[in-house]
Amino acid sequence: MSNKSKYIRKDFESTGSRSDTSANIYWSMLSSLAWKSLTAQQQLLYLYCKAQLYGQRNRPREHGKDCFYMNQAKWRDEFGLYKKGNENGFYRDMEALISKGFIKCVECGATTRTKSVYRYSSEWQRYGSEDFCVPSTDMTLSMRRKTLQNACR
């Protein structure tokens, strides 16, 4: 028998809606070199990505349970993170999350005009160390075209 009791949300955490989900961010991530190297907007983008982990109904399951979509309809219209005409801001910030080891690009939709599929990554824990690198397979097509300092095969 388990003595685990269900976590009860505090009133300052949620409206109490049954469909509400959380996005756990641990102190080890918040105090990491990788997290501190992100801009406030990049951190906010990660929080919205993370909130989808348990709340997203249409997940790209063929790529694994830790995958999610982040397309223009979400980051612009649903979340209000970037204004129309600031698409480059989203791409720049997502590339920063990838290059710091927080996110991997599993499937880049640029060439097929489909949704890109992303996966959460734990590589941020090695950010700043000699053995940290971002494989080209984890990058977006745009990132692969550029020369990245921490790219590896």
Write the CB contacts of 50 (distance below 8 Å, at least 6 apart in sequence).
23, 24, 25, 120
The reported pLDDT for the residue numbered 97 is 95
Token code pair at residue 83: 């204004």
- 49 pLDDT band (50/70/90 cuts)? confident
Task: Decide which of 20 and 27 is more confident.
Answer: 27
User: ∠ CA 104-134-56 to the nearest 5 degrees?
Assistant: 10
AA identity, residue 26: Y
Task: Decide which of 63 and 93 is more confident.
Answer: 93
Instruction: Please report, for the chain, the start and end positions of each structural domain, with discontinuous segments joined by +.
Output: 35-152
Does the pLDDT of residue 78 top 70, yes or no?
yes
The reported pLDDT for the residue numbered 129 is 94
Mark 23-55 as b/e (b = at least 16 C-beta within 10 Å).
Answer: eeeeeebeebebbeebeeebbebbebbbbbbee
pTM greater than 0.75: yes
